[in-house]
Amino acid sequence: MRRVVLYFPKMADPARGVAVSKDLLPLSLLAIAALPDREGREVVLIDGNLTSESEAQRRVVEACEGALLFGTTGILGYQVADAFRCSRRVKAAHPDLPLFVGGWFASAAPRLQLETGLYDAVCIGQGEETFADLVAAVEAGADLQEVAGLALLRDGELVRTAERPIVGYEDLPNCPWHLLDIEPYRAAQLRGRSAREVERMPTPPGFEGRPFFGISYVSSFGCPEPCTFCCSPGLTHRRWKHLPAARLLDDLCDVTERWGVDAVRFYDANWGVDERRSRAFSEGLIERGVDVAWYCLMQAGSIVRYAPQTLDAMRDSGLYVVGVGGETGDAAMMRAIGKHTPTDANEQATWELDRRGITAWVTYIIGYPHEEERSMMRTLEECRRIAARCVHARPTVWPYRPIPGSALYPAALELGYRPPSSLEEWGTIGEYHLDETWPGKIPAHVARARRLFEHLTTLKLGLPRGRIGWWERRAQRRLESGDLRGARLEAKAFDLYQRLTGGR
């Protein structure tokens, strides 16, 4: 059987002087490689994040010599552009080789991918079984229209094949970890993490000032939340499929022990939907004596619903950070975006984590289509209350980003949003907190208030100077009192102080 070549694109633009954290493994491609690998097929997986762009493309082109097909993926951001450029190189070197693309962005915008003329088909949504059938169809020379879960371009028209049902993990094998050479990921992390690294893994307890080795892991697919700003509801139909706790423990404990892992970042969209699984997993780690720190994403509604004993077990098993999608501090806006977070749940959930010594990274969004200024200010005020009360919490506010495939995307277009017209342009969209992709939707005074809030919360945590002193205690008092008179002048004074003292 001829080999299958998979390319995981760069997640950060090297031209901006940044690289992505090396704990982020190419999990999406490992997942779709599992079935072909189980059948005995050779799978070559190349991660563009480990080398220069030119070297990654050279390796891919070389691996594609005599291959059956080439596949790539990508989420909104630089991966979209890097996948396109690599595919263009492959097509130029191997014009008869079938090329395919999948992932969140391609699933939401298949026509844009197909109109490049590079790809034979787009895999839509969950890709494991679709990709396995696709490999079989290419090898047999069968019509791709017989493969469910694809988007094709026929005579200029977008054609979707039969919808592919979402399957549970009982139908899927574990990730084929043997396809990865883990040493480059380990070596890069143990050399130390750069301040220019994006998506940086939070430092686990006990590793302050020294390197550690972490990996990412996915234990579920989908999310039951109907959030209108996200493309997941349209692609997953709000289904949530998960690895049972026992199977998750067996696989993860084997990997962490074999590789000597210090920390695990769960990359699930919504890790904590099922409290029974969360508790069984946590208690299982404790019973097995596994010493590993872990980090996951959860909803505030889940956290406040959990029994205290479950949260205690999660903490005792090594949970040290939880990413919480706060989304908004305005009740009417929460209803408008369709999220099921109860009133005050964001603050209550953050407090429950904080009093257990768990850091809550709470992310909010302002500037939704039709959102009023007072709604944005309520969000900032909720963030201030969290920052004032919770020692460990890191609430942050991002500008709204229109995402193709989300329910709010048409409204953004109607209100004047002009999306990029090419894959390379879509690839210029970077980190939420670094780029405002729809300028002018946040009033100037709200934008100033947001910047001031971010300054105060960062300062009170001691991040700019690496310690707590007069400036940091002053920021804490500002957040506690809500009195921001003169705070902008203080922020300018702190900036001057930093430059004069060299950040000491």
In a domain? residue 175: no
Q: How many domains does the chain have?
A: 3
Helices (H) and strands (E) in the chain, counts: 20, 17
C-beta of residue 78 within 8 angstroms of C-beta of residue 427: yes
C-beta of residue 48 within 8 angstroms of C-beta of residue 27: no
C-beta of residue 156 within 8 angstroms of C-beta of residue 63: no
pTM of the predicted protein model: 0.94
- The pLDDT of residue 440: 80
CATH number at residue 286: 3.20.20.70
Q: How far apart are CA 487 and CA 453, in angstroms?
A: 10
Are 149 and 228 members of one domain?
no
In a domain? residue 181: no
In a domain? residue 438: no
Are 343 and 210 members of one domain?
yes
In a domain? residue 222: yes
C-beta of residue 495 within 8 angstroms of C-beta of residue 455: no
Are 90 and 145 members of one domain?
yes
φ, ψ (nearest 5 deg) of residue 236: -110, -5
Residue ending a domain, choose from 99, 130, 155: 155
Q: How far apart are CA 288 and CA 284, in angstroms?
A: 6
- The pLDDT of residue 466: 84
- The pLDDT of residue 435: 65
In a domain? residue 378: yes
- Positions of the chain with pLDDT under 70: 430-435, 503-504
Are 95 and 223 members of one domain?
no
In a domain? residue 428: no
Residue ending a domain, choose from 339, 366, 400: 400
C-beta of residue 11 within 8 angstroms of C-beta of residue 78: yes
- The pLDDT of residue 500: 85
CA-nearest of 144, 143, 160, 7 to 88 is: 7
8-state DSSP, 472: H
Please give the residue range of the domain that contains residue 466: 443-504
Are 462 and 325 members of one domain?
no
Are 375 and 302 members of one domain?
yes
Run of H or E residues at 200:
none
In a domain? residue 313: yes
In a domain? residue 79: yes
Alpha helices in 127-244 (DSSP H): 128-140, 183-190, 232-236
